[in-house]
């Protein structure tokens, strides 16, 4: 009778979680329609840049030419841009290959679809993290994961400005999950999508390509296995498609893009105002180095030991599949911390580690391996960016790095806890480590 009551209670809870999940999605749809989508027509919105640049390529023009009378200028003005100030397309032209289907549509419709696509990718990311954490997917866990993701300040920033960070998050999660499930080619192909924003993923992509992956015929997980070689093939094929398209559509795109980034009037790397708004170590350097031209070299010099440490960590755990997600979460944070150029909304990719830590700690609590409930720390970290941002806006944007540092501490804590609990051959409830993994 007791078992029946527990089963009934679980079913009632499941239905309640499902209803709450549906209500949350309905609320999100209302927010999209009432607030987020109208912002997509603002001139400074990222989705309008992607759409304008891709539409220019679609019509045979050069997206990096923003001079008056150019095709890019004409399309931008027609989309509502200020004819006296048209900022050039600064993304790699390979991005236009992915955005091409949307560029064929009117801007308003393209913006609406892009918003729905990115939100769908966010939900898929939550689903894959739950599966990858080794626990059962339930409506309650999906609701908790989406709730945590939406509370994360940077998620809504991405939705509002129409940026690519949720696409990067999905590519990161998908590549890791496919490696976990021995889908080598898909793991490599997903990692190739991260090349769209190399400044945000320059540490992440190499790590995804050398995560331990098990092969067929009982081949043990290893970073240099035959399955790992197939992952490299998948990555290489997608990269080749990107490059072939890019150079076929615009042979000089690398130089053109560099001109928009390093031009004397629009440099992203010599402007002191932008330096003070970066959510990376570079903003800390900018707060102490008065000469703008020295900010980037000093930031790189400070970052080198961090990059060396990331390589050492990989070598230390190169063939340990259990450590792989924690290592990936840690390196993701180090990438954000030491990026040469980054905006605060790019921190949305930290959701991988935040979610993985949350569900890992939740799994320990469920089987009573943990004497305390630590999942509240994840909720606290999700809320922390709001007060820290107000502090940074009123003082120095260098304080934004506190979020990344707190994230790194959470990953290290969860990783250490995971190692500690795995050492216990039998839990207090009599479950073995294998049973915990299967939960």
- Tokens 């192909």 belong to which residue? 189
- Residue 203: its H or E element: none
Instruction: Evaluate whether residue 104 is within a structural domain.
Output: no
Token pair for 225: 């296995």
Tell me, what's the pLDDT at 207?
96
Instruction: Evaluate whether residue 83 is within a structural domain.
Output: no
Contacts of 297 (CB under 8 A, 6+ apart): none
- Please state, in angstroms and rounded to a whole number, the distance separating the CA atoms of residues 183 and 180: 8
Q: Please count the structural domains in the chain.
A: 2
Token pair for 358: 């949350």
- Tokens 């290959």 belong to which residue? 97
Instruction: Evaluate whether residue 261 is within a structural domain.
Output: no
Looking at the fold, whether 222 and 328 belong to one and the same domain comes out as: yes
Instruction: Evaluate whether residue 330 is within a structural domain.
Output: yes
Give the 3-state secondary structure of residue 92: coil
Instruction: Evaluate whether residue 48 is within a structural domain.
Output: no
Report the chain's mean pLDDT, rounded to a whole number.
83
Longest dimension (CA), the chain: 79
Looking at the fold, whether 418 and 277 belong to one and the same domain comes out as: yes
Looking at the fold, whether 17 and 132 belong to one and the same domain comes out as: no
- Please state, in angstroms and rounded to a whole number, the distance separating the CA atoms of residues 148 and 350: 12
For residues 78 and 19, the answer to whether their CB atoms sit within 8 Å is no
Tell me, what's the pLDDT at 97?
93
Q: What percentage of the chain exceeds 90 in pLDDT?
A: 46
What single string gives the DSSP state of each residue in 349-410?
A: GGHHHHHHHHHHHHHHHHTT--SS--HHHHHHHHHTHHHHHHHHHHS-GGGGHHHHHHHHHH
For residues 200 and 168, the answer to whether their CB atoms sit within 8 Å is yes
Q: Where are the alpha helices (DSSP H) in 79-138?
A: 95-103, 107-132
Other beta carbons within 10 Å of 162: 25
Token pair for 244: 């072939």
Tell me, what's the pLDDT at 438?
38
Tell me, what's the pLDDT at 369?
52
Tell me, what's the pLDDT at 278?
63
- Residues 187-210 pLDDT 10s: 999 999 999 999 899 999 999 999
What's the number of CA atoms in the CB half-sphere (13 Å) around residue 226? Answer: 6
Instruction: Evaluate whether residue 54 is within a structural domain.
Output: no
- Please state, in angstroms and rounded to a whole number, the distance separating the CA atoms of residues 151 and 128: 19
Q: Give me the domain span that covers residue 120.
A: 114-242+267-438
Looking at the fold, whether 7 and 119 belong to one and the same domain comes out as: no
Instruction: Evaluate whether residue 247 is within a structural domain.
Output: no
pLDDT in tens, the chain (439 residues): 444 454 444 455 666 666 766 776 676 666 666 656 665 555 557 888 899 999 999 999 999 988 888 898 888 888 777 776 777 888 899 999 999 999 999 888 888 889 889 999 999 999 999 999 988 888 889 989 999 998 999 998 888 888 899 999 999 999 999 999 999 999 999 999 999 999 899 999 999 999 999 877 677 888 988 999 999 999 999 999 999 999 988 888 988 888 777 664 444 554 444 444 567 888 888 888 878 778 888 989 999 999 999 999 999 999 999 999 999 999 999 999 999 888 888 999 999 999 999 999 988 876 655 556 788 999 999 999 999 988 988 888 888 899 999 999 999 999 998 887 776 634 444 444 444 443 4
Looking at the fold, whether 298 and 154 belong to one and the same domain comes out as: yes
- Residues 383-417 pLDDT 10s: 999 999 889 888 888 888 999 999 999 999 999 98
- Please state, in angstroms and rounded to a whole number, the distance separating the CA atoms of residues 426 and 439: 14
Other beta carbons within 10 Å of 194: 23
- Please state, in angstroms and rounded to a whole number, the distance separating the CA atoms of residues 366 and 439: 9
Other beta carbons within 10 Å of 429: 10
Instruction: Evaluate whether residue 81 is within a structural domain.
Output: no
For residues 230 and 188, the answer to whether their CB atoms sit within 8 Å is yes
Tell me, what's the pLDDT at 267?
46
């Amino acid at each position: 009778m007791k078992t029946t009551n527990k089963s009934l209670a679980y079913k009632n809870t499941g239905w309640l979680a499902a209803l709450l999940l549906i209500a949350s999605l309905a609320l999100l749809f209302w927010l999209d329609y009432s607030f987020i989508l109208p912002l997509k027509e603002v001139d400074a919105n990222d989705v309008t840049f992607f759409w304008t640049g891709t539409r220019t390529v679609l019509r045979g023009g050069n997206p990096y030419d923003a001079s008056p009378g150019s095709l890019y200028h004409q399309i931008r003005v027609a989309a509502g841009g200020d004819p006296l100030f048209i900022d050039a397309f600064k993304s790699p032209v390979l991005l236009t290959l992915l955005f091409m289907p949307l560029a064929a549509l009117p801007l308003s419709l393209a913006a609406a679809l892009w918003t729905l696509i990115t939100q769908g990718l966010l939900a898929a990311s939550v689903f894959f993290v739950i599966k990858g954490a080794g626990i059962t997917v339930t409506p309650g866990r999906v609701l908790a994961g989406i709730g945590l993701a939406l509370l994360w300040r940077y998620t809504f920033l991405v939705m509002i400005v129409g940026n690519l960070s949720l696409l990067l998050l999905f590519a990161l999660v998908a590549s890791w999950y496919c490696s976990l499930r021995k889908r080598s080619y898909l793991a490599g192909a997903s990692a190739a999508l991260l090349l769209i924003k190399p400044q945000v993923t320059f540490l992440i992509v190499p790590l995804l390509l050398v995560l331990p992956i098990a092969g067929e015929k009982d081949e043990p997980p290893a970073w240099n296995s035959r399955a790992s070689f197939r992952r490299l093939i998948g990555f290489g094929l997608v990269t080749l498609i990107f490059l072939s398209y890019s150079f076929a559509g615009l042979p000089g795109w690398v130089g053109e893009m560099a001109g928009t980034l390093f031009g004397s009037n629009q440099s992203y790397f010599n402007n002191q105002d932008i330096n003070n708004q970066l959510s990376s170590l570079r903003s800390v350097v900018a707060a102490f180095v008065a000469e703008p031209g020295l900010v980037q070299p000093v930031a790189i010099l400070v970052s080198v030991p961090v990059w060396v440490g990331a390589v050492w960590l990989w070598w230390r755990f190169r063939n340990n599949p259990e450590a792989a997600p924690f290592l990936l979460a840690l390196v993701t944070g180090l990438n954000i911390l030491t990026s040469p150029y980054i905006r605060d909304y790019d921190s949305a990719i930290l959701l991988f580690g935040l979610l993985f830590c949350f569900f890992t700690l939740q799994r320990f609590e469920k089987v009573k391996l943990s004497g305390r409930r630590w999942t509240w720390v994840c909720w606290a970290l999700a809320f922390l960016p709001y007060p820290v941002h107000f502090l940074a806006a009123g003082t120095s944007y260098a304080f934004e790095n506190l979020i990344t540092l707190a994230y790194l501490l959470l990953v290290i804590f969860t990783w250490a806890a995971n190692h500690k609990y795995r050492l216990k051959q039998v839990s207090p409830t009599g479950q073995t480590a294998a049973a915990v993994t299967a939960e």
